[in-house]
Amino acid sequence: MVEWQEQQMQSILSAQSVPTLFTNLSGIAKQLGFDYCAYGMRLPWPVAQPKVIMLNNYPSSWQQRYTQQEYVKVDPTVSHGKRSTLPLVWSDKSLASCPAFWEDARAHGLHAGWAQSCHDAKGIGGLLNLSRSDESVSGKELREIALKLSWLVDVAHEGLSQLLIEKYLPEAITQLTAREIEVLRWTADGKTSGEISRIMGISDRTVNFHIANTLKKLNATNKTAATIKAAMLGIL
C-alpha cells in the first residue's frame, strides 16, 4: 500500500499541467477497475457564481447529454458531495432522488460507479467520480480498494489545486500581514475603522492603510468583500 501510494503520488503531484495530471489520474482509476474518471472542482469565489472546473473522460455522447440536460443541478453524486465527504457507491438506492438521471446514465453505458468529495482549508471543494460499464461495485471489491480510493481523492485535489489556483484564484495564496488580518477580523465582527483604531491602539489612518492594502492584495472592491473573501479562503 505504501509503495503504491508513493508511486501514484509522484505521478500526480509531479505533473506540470492539468491535462497531464488528469491523464495520470485516469490511469490510476483504470488500475482500480474503473473505465471513466471525472473530477469537478468548485472555487469559493465569486460567491454569487462560483467558478467550477470539470474534467472527465466520459464518452462524448454522455458529456453532451449531461450538459444539455444540466444534470449537474440534479446529479445525486454532486448533491451528496456538497453535504458529506463520505464515499457514495452508485446504486438504485443512492441515486433514487433522480431516477431519470440514473436511467439516462445507464443508457449511455454507465452501470456502476463510486464518488467522494473533498473540501480543503481554502474553501475549495472537489468531487472525484469513477464509473464503468460493467458489473456493480461489490462489497468485497470496495473493501479491497476503499482506502486507495479515499487517499486518491485527497491527492488528486492537492495536485489540481496547485495547478489551478494561481490561474483562477490567486488570492488564495496571498500573504497578508498579521496587522492586516487583525483589522479584517475586527471588521468581520462589525467594528468600524474608529472602533478598530481604539481596540488596536493605532490611528484611523493606519487602520485605513491596512484596509487599502488588503483590498489590493485580495482584489476586492470594498472592505466587506475583502473580509468575506478572506474568511472563505481560510485566511482569517
At 84-106, the pLDDT tens digits run 999 999 988 999 999 999 999 99
At 146-186, the pLDDT tens digits run 999 999 999 999 999 999 988 888 988 889 999 999 999 99
CA 107 to the chain's CA centroid: 28
Question: What are the start-end ranges of the E strands in 108-189?
Answer: 112-119, 125-132
pLDDT at 188 over 90: yes
Structural domains in the chain, CATH included, are: 2-169 (3.30.450.80), 174-232 (1.10.10.10)
Of 97, 88, 136, 95, residue with least CA distance to 116: 88
Q: Which residue has the higher pLDDT, 196 or 2?
A: 196
At 40-68, the pLDDT tens digits run 999 998 888 889 999 999 999 999 999 99
Task: Tell me which DSSP letter residue 173 carries.
Answer: G
The residue type found at 87 is: P
Of 94, 60, 58, residue with least CA distance to 78: 94
Residues 6+ apart with CB under 8 A from 165: 122, 124, 172, 173
pLDDT band for position 216 (cuts 50, 70, 90): very high
pLDDT-above-90 percentage for the chain: 78
Return d(Cα 59, Cα 108) in angstroms, integer.
8
Return d(Cα 134, Cα 114) in angstroms, integer.
13
183 vs 180, 215, 218, 228, 233, CA distance in Å? 5, 12, 14, 13, 16
C-alpha cell at 72: 449537474
Return d(Cα 29, Cα 222) in angstroms, integer.
44
Answer for the pair 141, 44: CB distance below 8 angstroms, yes or no: no
At 106-150, the pLDDT tens digits run 999 999 999 999 999 899 999 999 999 987 888 888 888 999 999
C-alpha cell at 55: 474534467
Residue 158 sits at the vertex; the CA angle it makes with 228 and 22, to the nearest 5 degrees, is 120
Return d(Cα 92, Cα 105) in angstroms, integer.
12
pLDDT at 1 over 80: no
For residue 129, what pLDDT is reported?
96
Of 149, 37, 143, 41, residue with least CA distance to 86: 149
For residue 37, what pLDDT is reported?
97
